Amino acid sequence: MKEVIEKQMMPDSRKILTVENLSNRYEGQPLLQDISFSLMQGEILCLLGPSGSGKTTLLRLLAGLEKEETGSIIFCGREIKDVPPHKRNFGMMFQEYALFPHKTVQQNVAFGLEMQHCPSHELSRRVETVLKMVGLSGLEHRKIDELSGGERQRVALARSLAPEPQLLLLDEPLGSLDRALRDRLTGEIRTILKSLAVTAVFVTHDQAEAFSIADKVAILHHGSLQQLDTPEKLYRTPINATVARFLGFQNLVKGTVDSNSAFQSSLGALALVEQMVQPGKKTTLLIRPEGARLASCSTDETDDIQIAGIITGRQFQGSTYKLTLQVKELSLTFDLPIDPAPPNIGQSIELLLNPSAILLISS
C-alpha cells in the first residue's frame, strides 16, 4: 500500500469527475435541477446547504443508490449511469457510521476488503496502514462499544479508505459529534485525505465545517446549485442574496444604482466606483460584519464610508463585540474589536466601513 500512497501523492491535474445537467424528481417534485460541476483528482468538494436542499440526493446519485432523471455523471472519462454501485469503487461514510458492534476495530476495517476477496497478507497490511493513518494503532482488538465517538468516527473513515476508493463520499459524517470534537476532526480528515490525494465529496449543513475541510464549496438551495467556489472567494464574494443569507450575512440593503454609479438606498448615496453595475438596476448591497471600525479611531483620510446610528444591541464575544445599530430604518450588525470598547446600548455611534467589505450582489 505504501507504493500506492506514494503514487497517489504525486501532483495530478486530471479532471476526474464531471456532472452535467443532473436532475432528479420525487413524486413529481424536483429534488435537483440541472446540476453541473467538475472535480480534479485529489480535490475535496463540500456540498453545503440547509435541510432539503438536495445535498444527500446528489451524493446518492453519485454513488448509484438513486437514478437521475436527466443528465450524466462522467467518472475518469466514462459515463457511469448504468454502472451498479458495487462496481464503481466509491467509498461511502455516513453520520451513523454503520459499524458492526460485534466485531473488533480490525474486523470492521477489514470488512470491505474481505468483500473484495483481498488476499490475507495484503488485507493485513492495508488494515495496519489505515489504522496508523487515522491514529488508532494499538486499538485493533477493541470492540466498537468500547470506543469514544471520535474513535468510532476514525474507524468508519479507516474502513472507507482501506479499499482504496477512487472517490470518497461522506454524508454528514461528523453530525453526531460535539462542536469541539468536530472542529478537531475536520482538520484531521482533511490532512488524511490530502496525504492520500483522495478525491472526496463531503455533505454538511455546517459552514465552518465546510470551510475547514474543502478545496471547493458548492451551495445548494431548493435543489439548485447557487454557487461553487473556494471557501475564501465564497465568503468574500457571494453571488446573490440567497447565498449571502445562508452564510449568515445580515447586512443586506436593497437599492438602485444611479447614472453616476452611486448606490441609492435608505442609507443615502454611496459611491461604489469600482463595482460596475448597469444604471437603474435594482440590486442589493452586502456589508460584511467585520468591515467596520470606530470612526473615532481613525486619524488618516481614507476612502472608507462613514455611517452613523444608535446602538440597539451590544454583545461581548471574547475577541469581538457584536453590535447592532439602527441606521435610519435599517438594522445593521457588525463585529468590532474589543479595544477600544464601543459605546453602550442607546448611545450614538459613528463607524467607518472598509470598501473591500462592501459588495453589490444579485437580489
Nearest to 284, CA basis, from 251, 322, 321, 310: 251
Residue 14 CA neighbour count, 13 Å, CB half: 13
pLDDT number for residue 7: 37
Q: For the residues 185-195, what does the mean pLDDT come to? A: 88
The single-letter code of the amino acid at 334 is F
C-alpha cell at 59: 451524493
Q: Which domains does the chain have, with CATH numbers?
A: 2-239 (3.40.50.300), 249-361 (2.40.50.140)
Rounded to an integer, what distance in angstroms lies between the CA atom of residue 302 and that of residue 119? 69
pLDDT number for residue 178: 77
Q: Which of 47-56, 95-104, 160-169, 222-231 has the least mean pLDDT?
A: 95-104
With cut-offs at 50, 70 and 90, classify the pLDDT of residue 108.
very high
Say if residue 175's pLDDT is above 90: no
Rounded to an integer, what distance in angstroms lies between the CA atom of residue 363 and that of residue 243? 10
Cis ω on the peptide bond leading into residue 340 (within 30° of 0)?
yes
Q: For the residues 170-181, what does the mean pLDDT come to? A: 80
pLDDT tens per residue, range 323-337: 999 998 899 999 999
Q: For the residues 253-279, what does the mean pLDDT come to? A: 78
With cut-offs at 50, 70 and 90, classify the pLDDT of residue 63.
very high
Q: For the residues 329-352, what does the mean pLDDT come to? A: 94
Q: Residue 114: enclosing H or E segment and its boundaries?
A: helix 105-115
Q: Which of 189-193, 231-235, 257-261 has the least mean pLDDT?
A: 257-261
Residue 70 CA neighbour count, 13 Å, CB half: 9
C-alpha cell at 322: 457584536
258-284 per-residue burial string, b: 16 or more CB within 10 A, e: under 16:
eeeebbebebeebebeeeeeeeeeebb
**Is residue 146 classed as helix, strand or coil in its secondary structure?**
helix
Q: Which of 133-142, 180-189, 248-257 has the least mean pLDDT?
A: 180-189
Of residues 179 and 91, the one with the higher pLDDT is: 91
pLDDT number for residue 298: 65
Q: How many other CB atoms are found less than 10 A from the CB of residue 164?
A: 18
Residue-averaged pLDDT of the chain: 88
Q: For the residues 310-330, what does the mean pLDDT come to? A: 95
The single-letter code of the amino acid at 263 is F
Say if residue 284's pLDDT is above 70: yes
User: Please, are residues 215 and 200 in contact by the beta-carbon 8 Å criterion?
Assistant: no
